[in-house]
C-alpha cells in the first residue's frame, strides 16, 4: 500500500511543527531545501523525536567525497530516506551508498516533475522524459540505490523494468480538482498508487488546504487507508 509523505515545504519550522500537531496520522514527512536551510539539523531531530520518518530531500549532486559526507551526516541525524541526483554519476552514487551503511534508504532523483520535454530539450537532453528516466533508473539500481524519484506517469514502466523491490517515490501528486501549481507531470494519488508508486509526496494539496486535516483524511480515504 502506497505511503503518503507530507512535504513540509513551509516557511519556518514552528509552522511545520504546528501543522503536524494537527496531523497525528502522518507517518512520513519530507524536509527539503526551504526548511533545512532555515532550521537545520535541530528540526530534523525534533521530527525524529516525534517518531516521524524523515525523508530528507536535498538532492545532493557534488563530488563523491562531499556527497558521502552529507549522507553520513543524515544517517547520524536519524533520517530514514534521502535523495541524490543520479546525474552525479556512478562514483558519486556508489560513495553515497557506502556512506549510508544500510541505515538509511537512498533514492535517486531522475527528472524533476516540473520539467516537460521542451524543458529537457533546453538543457540538452533530447530523449523523451520516459526514456531518460529509465536510463537513469538503471544506473541508480546498478549502483545499489534503494529506488528512484520519478513521476507517477513513469511508475508503470519503472515497476515493469525493476520489479517490486525497487522503491518508487513520486512527487507531483495532485488530488482531482487541485491546482497544478508549478508541476508539469502530475497524477492523482489513487492513480499513482495503481501505477505502482510506493511513496506519494504530497505538499501544497495538504499544507495549503483550508483544512489540512480534512485534506489528508480525504486522500487516505481515496487510497483505502484505514481511518
How far apart are alpha carbons 227 and 222 in whole angstroms?
Answer: 11
Burial class (CB in 10 A: 0-12, 13-18, 19+), 1: exposed
What residues form DSSP beta bridges with 107? Answer: 83, 147
Distances (CA, A) of 187 to 71, 107, 179: 30, 20, 12
Residue among 30, 59, 90, 180 flagged as catalytic: 59
Closest CA to 55 of 121, 2, 107: 107
C-alpha grid cell for residue 58?
536535498
User: How many helices and strands in the chain, by DSSP H and E?
Assistant: 11, 8
Cα–Cα distance measured from residue 155 to residue 111, given in angstroms and rounded to the nearest whole number: 13
Q: Contact 72/22 with Cβ under 8 angstroms?
A: no
Is residue 180 annotated as part of the catalytic site, yes or no? no
Active site residues: 59
Amino acid at each position: 500500500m502506497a505511503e503518503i509523505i507530507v512535504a513540509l515545504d513551509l516557511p519556518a519550522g514552528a509552522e511545520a511543527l504546528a501543522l503536524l500537531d494537527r496531523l497525528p496520522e502522518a507517518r512520513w514527512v519530507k524536509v527539503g531545501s526551504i526548511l533545512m536551510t532555515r532550521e537545520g539539523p535541530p528540526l530534523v531531530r525534533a521530527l525524529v523525536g516525534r517518531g516521524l520518518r524523515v525523508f530528507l530531500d536535498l538532492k545532493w549532486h557534488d563530488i563523491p567525497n562531499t556527497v558521502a559526507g552529507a549522507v553520513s551526516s543524515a544517517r547520524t541525524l536519524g533520517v530514514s530516506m534521502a535523495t541524490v541526483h543520479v546525474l552525479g554519476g556512478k562514483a558519486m552514487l556508489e560513495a553515497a551508498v557506502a556512506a549510508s551503511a544500510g541505515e538509511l534508504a537512498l533514492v535517486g532523483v531522475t527528472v524533476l516533475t516540473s520539467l516537460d520535454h521542451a524543458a529537457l530539450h533546453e538543457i540538452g537532453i533530447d530523449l523523451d522524459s520516459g526514456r531518460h528516466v529509465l536510463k537513469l533508473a538503471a544506473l541508480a539500481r546498478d549502483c545499489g540505490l534503494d529506488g528512484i524519484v520519478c513521476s507517477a506517469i513513469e511508475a508503470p514502466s519503472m515497476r515493469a523494468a525493476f520489479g517490486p523491490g525497487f522503491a518508487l517515490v513520486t512527487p507531483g501528486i495532485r488530488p482531482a480538482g487541485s491546482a497544478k501549481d508549478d508541476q508539469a507531470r502530475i497524477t492523482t494519488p489513487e492513480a499513482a498508487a495503481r501505477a505502482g508508486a510506493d511513496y506519494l509526496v504530497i505538499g501544497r494539496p495538504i499544507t495549503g488546504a483550508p483544512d489540512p486535516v480534512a485534506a489528508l483524511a480525504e486522500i487516505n480515504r481515496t487510497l483505502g487507508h484505514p481511518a
